């Protein structure tokens, strides 16, 4: 009888070891899934932030172009400026919009360059540019002054 009692006492210990091992394997699988999920979420967040910056840069580029056209209508000697818009949402440190107007009186080129420099890293830079070349006649120029 002593033998039967000993073999019964060894079985629960062996089973508890297997159960602990199974729990550790399950726990490691769950942790791996959670880590993958967190990495995916962080990548998605970074991609959405970059898309937002690209859209903002494109819109600022268009705004710079409109600003240059408006200033040229008022002053034909306008040569450009560096415009630093204040953006409330400080996901980047500095935003520069550089407007350059070149050419003769009736043949002009407007170049707009937008740079978004991130506060996270010095290498994180988004840049968009737009250039337009146009020519006007004296008659059109005089009409735009009347308006």
DSSP calls for 93-128: SEEEEEEEEEE-SSEEEEEEEEEEE-SS-TT-EEEE
* pLDDT-flagged residues of the chain (< 70): 1-14, 87-93, 119-123, 137-147
pLDDT attached to residue 16: 78
pLDDT attached to residue 73: 87
pLDDT attached to residue 139: 41
Instruction: State the Cα–Cα distance between residues 105 and 103, nearest whole angstrom.
Output: 7
The tokens 């959405």 sit on which residue?
A: 48
Residue 129, phi then psi, degrees to nearest 5 = -140, 155
Q: pTM of the predicted model, to two decimals?
A: 0.64
Residue 76 vs residues 64, 106, 121: alpha-carbon distances, Å: 17, 10, 40
pLDDT attached to residue 24: 95
The tokens 């399950």 sit on which residue?
A: 26
Mention every residue, 6+ apart, whose C-beta is less than 8 A from residue 90. 119
């Amino acid at each position: 009888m002593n033998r039967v009692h000993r073999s019964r006492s060894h079985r629960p210990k062996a089973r508890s070891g297997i159960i602990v091992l199974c729990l550790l394997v399950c726990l490691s699988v769950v942790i791996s899934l959670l880590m993958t999920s967190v990495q995916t979420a962080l990548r998605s967040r970074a991609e959405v932030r970059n898309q937002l910056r690209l859209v903002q840069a494109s819109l600022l580029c268009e705004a710079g172009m409109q600003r240059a056209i408006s200033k040229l209508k008022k002053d034909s000697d306008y040569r450009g400026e560096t415009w630093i818009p204040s953006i409330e949402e400080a996901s980047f440190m500095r935003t520069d919009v550089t407007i350059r107007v070149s050419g003769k009186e009736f043949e002009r080129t407007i170049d707009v360059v937008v740079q978004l420099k991130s506060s996270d890293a010095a290498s994180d830079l988004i840049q968009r540019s737009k250039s337009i070349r146009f020519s006007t006649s004296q008659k059109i120029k005089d009409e735009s002054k009347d308006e």
